Amino acid sequence: MAPTVTLLDLVTAVAENARSEAEIIATVVYMVNRGRVHLCGTFRGARFDTNALAAA
């Protein structure tokens, strides 16, 4: 079963081992969109639209 975490906790945990901001973003998006983690709090059930991220 995938752990349930806040987005802040997830970003903080990933940032401890990431080498760049791009790696943090890519890892968080992957983990959330693939169901490796479930978000709680304000972002409960959220998914990231990778098409919108690519356009930014």
| Token couple for 13 | 């945990």
Q: Which position has the token pair 């639209």?
A: 49
- The pLDDT, as a whole number, for residue 52 is 77
Bridge partners of 33, per DSSP, are: none
Domain that holds residue 10: 4-55
3-state helix, strand, coil split of the chain in percent (to 5) is 55, 5, 40
The total number of structural domains in the chain stands at: 1
User: Considering the entire predicted model, what is its pTM?
Assistant: 0.86
CA pseudo-torsion sign 24, 21, 5, 33 = negative
- How large is the average pLDDT for residues 3-21? 97
| pLDDT band with cut points at 50, 70 and 90 for residue 39 | very high
